[in-house]
Structure 1
């Protein structure tokens, strides 16, 4: 299969396990798909010119999703249950980067996500723009599926 390089970053989909895929999958942006390797330094006795670095563990930042505010939303109800009722029910979610035929070029499976922040953009009578809601999730890790 021939790929056009590089793929465009504006054609993607997001889906949550257990939530319908209509308005819930329409996001303006996704950020936070990265991983860092934490290291630990160890000074060798007798050799003072450098320190050895050893890998310790991986660290994943929060996943941030933005979209136009949805008034009726299962996703927002799930977030409200966590934020207002302190009822956490982690979900897996899938992010797909799509080609021009709407076929996945790359798929990320985000494991055990739960909401940690929900924000609505400021209202301003002097601007003509959509109301954007920002959802931030903590998660264990992600896997690249293809």
Structure 2
């Protein structure tokens, strides 16, 4: 039965269509960048001085940013990023971002198409603080679309 309550964003998963893939490759603390925009072109109509017409041109998508705590575990995602950035060998990957309910069942799902790594970053190391090192992966992708979840 559908639930009309707002969905919380703290329980989610990210799954890449990428091999090899290890358990660490689905665990992230933060996902951002699921944003679609429409690029427009202004058109000035002759005799109309109060406003300009804005004509839609094409859709655009923001970069996807994934953050997670750095571990010593082997990561297929890290190897994929390193191969692209260090060797300039790109293998675009698709991924699925899912918001999950309290039972781990997807309630909203987005399919992200043709992602490639743009940057691979680590937070600062500081001997005066006891903080977790955060690994940040920024991806460029072609588009995303929501996949309907039966029952929600």
Same fold, TM exceeding 0.5? yes
Which residue among 107, 110, 113 is the counterpart of 1:105? 107
User: Gaps (5+ residues) in structure 2?
Assistant: none
Superposition deviation, residue 46 in structure 1:
1.9
For this pair of structures, how many residues does the alignment match?
Answer: 146
Alpha carbons 1:79, 1:115 under 8 Å: kept: yes
Instruction: Report the equivalent of 2:43.
Output: 42
Instruction: Confirm whether residue 23 of structure 1 aligns to residue 24 of structure 2.
Output: yes
Which residue among 71, 79, 83 is the counterpart of 1:77? 79
The alignment's TM-score, normalised by the length of structure 1, stands at: 0.95
Runs of 4+ in 1 over 4 A off after TM superposition: none
1:27-86 deviations in whole A, cap 9, x for unaligned? 000000011111111011122221111111111110000001133211100000000000
Choose 55-64 or 13-22, whichever is displaced more.
Answer: 13-22
User: Gaps (5+ residues) in structure 1?
Assistant: none
Alpha carbons 1:15, 1:21 under 8 Å: kept: no
Instruction: Report the equivalent of 2:33.
Output: 32
Choose 46-55 or 94-103, whichever is displaced more.
Answer: 46-55
CA RMSD, aligned part only? 1.2
Choose 67-76 or 116-125, whichever is displaced more.
Answer: 67-76
